[in-house]
Amino acid sequence: MAARLCARHLLSTWLYRRAVQSQGRHYRAALCSELKRPLVIEEVASRPVGPQEVRVDVHFCGINFADILVCRGQYQEKPPLPFTPGMEFSGTVLETGKDVSTVNKTLWRIPESVSLQDAAVLPVSYGTAILALEHRAGTQPGETVLVTAASGATGLAVIDVATNVLRAKVIAAAGSDEKCKLAMERGAQFSVNYSQGSLKEAVKKLVGSGGVNVAIDMVGGDVFLESLSSLAWEGRIVVLGFAGGKIASLPTNLLLLKNISAVGLFWGRYQQQDFALFSKSMSSALQYCQQGLIHPHVGTVFKLEKVNEAFLHVIQRRSTGKVLLSLK
C-alpha cells in the first residue's frame, strides 16, 4: 500500500498518471510482519529504482478480501515476510528505471477524464466482472443474469457491466434488504434477499420456471447450489469465490439434464497464463469508464493509518461497494 508494491512487482495490476514530482527519502507502508496479526504502519527507507522498475506515488489503494487472506497465509500467493499487501492502486509515476520507456505488465495509464479514486476501483472488481460476463459466460444482450453478493465491489461491478455495457437484465441477490436496495439503485432490475428464504424459489417467482441465462456466484455453499438450480437450458454459472466460507459439491446431473456449463474465474491468474486477455479486461474497464458507460461505486474511504479498521470493515461484511485506502 505504498510505492514499494510497484518496486517489488508483487501483485497484479496498478493504474497511474504521469507526474514530475521527485521522490523523498522515505515512504509510509502498511507492513505485514507476522501472519494473522494487525498490519503496522512504518516509515520505510527508499532505495534506487532498478533498470526495469517504476516508482509510484500512491493516492488510493483498493481493499479486497483476498488481501486479508494473504495476511492470514490462506491465499494462493504467499509472499515472504515482511510484505506490503494489496492488489490494486492508483497514483502518479515519480521515477522510471533506465530500461523503462512505456507502461509495463503492471501499470495502465489513467485517462484524464477518469478520477484517481474511480481508477482504484477498476482493476480487481471490474476486471473480474468483465472477464466473467464477457469471456467466461458469453453474456448476450437481453439475457438475464443472477449475481450473488450483489452489494459488494465485484457484485456491483457485475451489475454495472451487465446492464450498461451488455444490456442484460440483472437479478441481484444479497443478504439484507439494505444491500438489495443498493443493488437496485445501481441498476439491477430485481433483487432477492437470500437470508429470508429460498433463492431458487424467489428467482422462479421473478422469471418463471425457465430460469436465468447466467449466474455469477461469489458466495458458495447453498447459495451456489440454488444459483445453479436457477439456471435455464444451456445456462452458464461462473464461480468467483466463496465468501460464505463453504465450497459446495457440484451435482453434475444438473449439468447434464439442462446442458448447463459451470466454470471458474481466477482473474489474476490470467496475467501469467493469457496476458493479452488480462490486459484487454483492464483496457475495457478504463474505456468503459472514460465513455461514461460504467460508474464505479466507492462505499468507504479510510486513511492509511486506519488500514486495520478497513480490513475489519470487510471481514464483518459491513462494506458495500469498494473499500479504499487514501494516502493523501
Indicate which CATH number applies to the domain containing 155. Answer: 3.40.50.720
Burial class (CB in 10 A: 0-12, 13-18, 19+), 181: middle
Residue 184 within any structural domain of the chain: yes
Whether 105 and 135 map to the same domain: the answer is no
Q: What is the DSSP letter of 32?
A: B
Say how many C-beta atoms besides its own lie within 10 A of residue 53's C-beta: 19
Residues 236 and 306 in one domain: no
Adjacency order of strands within the sheet including 89-96? 107-109, 14-18, 89-96, 54-63, 322-326, 298-303
Inside any domain, residue 75: yes
Q: Quote the pLDDT of residue 275.
A: 94
95 and 170 fall within a common domain: no
- Give the pLDDT score at 1: 36
Distance, in Å, from the CA atom of 212 to the CA atom of 236, rounded to the nearest integer, reads: 9
Decide which of 268, 284, 317 is a domain's last residue. 268
* Burial (Cβ within 10 Å: 0-12, 13-18, ≥19) of residue 66: buried
Q: pTM for this one?
A: 0.90
How many CB atoms are located within 10 Å of the residue 52 CB?
A: 12
Residue 151 lies in domain: 126-268
Pairing relationship of beta strands 26-31 and 40-45 according to DSSP bridges: antiparallel
- For residue 244, being part of any structural domain is answered with yes
pLDDT tens digits, one per residue of 45-69: 888 888 988 888 899 999 998 899 9
User: Domain check: are 29 and 156 in the same one?
Assistant: no
The verdict on 131 and 97 lying in the same domain is: no
Question: CA-CA distance, 137 to 144, in Å (whole number)?
Answer: 12
Number of domains in the chain: 2
Radius of gyration of the chain (CA): 20
**Locate cell 509472499: which residue?**
79
In a domain, 100, yes or no: yes
| Peptide bond connecting 82 to the previous residue in cis, omega within 30 degrees of 0 | yes
In a domain, 319, yes or no: yes
Residue 136's pLDDT is what? 98
Q: Where are the beta strands (DSSP E) in 71-189?
A: 89-96, 107-109, 144-147, 169-174
In a domain, 274, yes or no: no
Helix (H) or strand (E) holding 248: none
Residue 309 and residue 205 share a domain: no
The domain that contains 101 carries what CATH number? 3.90.180.10
Q: Are residues 15 and 95 in the same domain?
A: yes
Could you tell me if 152 and 232 lie in one domain?
yes
Q: Are residues 133 and 263 in the same domain?
A: yes
Q: In the listed set 268, 286, 305, which residue is the last one of a domain according to the structure?
A: 268
pLDDT confidence of residue 318? 85
Alpha carbon 43 to chain centroid, angstroms: 28
Measure the CA–CA gap between 92 and 54, rounded to whole angstroms: 10
pLDDT at 46: 84
Same domain, 130 and 263: yes
Per-residue pLDDT of 26-39, as tens digits, reads 788 899 999 999 99
pLDDT value of residue 317: 84
Q: What is the pLDDT of residue 266?
A: 93
73 domain residue, yes or no: yes
Could you give the 3-state DSSP secondary structure of residue 59?
strand
List Cα–Cα distances, 110 to 16, 18, 85, 194, in angstroms: 6, 9, 22, 38
pLDDT per residue as tens, the chain (328 positions): 333 222 222 233 456 555 444 445 678 889 999 999 999 999 888 888 889 888 888 999 999 988 999 999 988 788 999 999 999 999 998 888 999 887 677 889 999 999 999 999 999 999 999 999 999 999 999 999 999 999 999 999 999 999 999 999 999 999 999 999 999 999 999 999 999 999 999 999 999 989 999 999 999 999 999 999 999 999 999 999 888 878 999 999 999 999 999 999 999 899 999 999 999 999 999 999 999 999 999 999 999 999 999 999 999 888 889 999 999 8
- Give the pLDDT of residue 76: 79
* First-residue to last-residue Cα distance in the chain: 12
Q: Kindly state whether residues 175 and 136 are assigned to the same domain.
A: yes
Give the pLDDT of residue 105: 76
Looking at the domain assignment, is residue 207 inside a domain?
A: yes
Let me know whether 181 and 79 are in one domain: no
| Helices (H), ranges, the chain | 4-8, 65-72, 116-121, 127-130, 153-164, 177-185, 199-207, 221-229, 252-257, 270-273, 275-290, 307-315
Report yes or no: 120 and 88 within 8 Å, Cβ to Cβ. yes
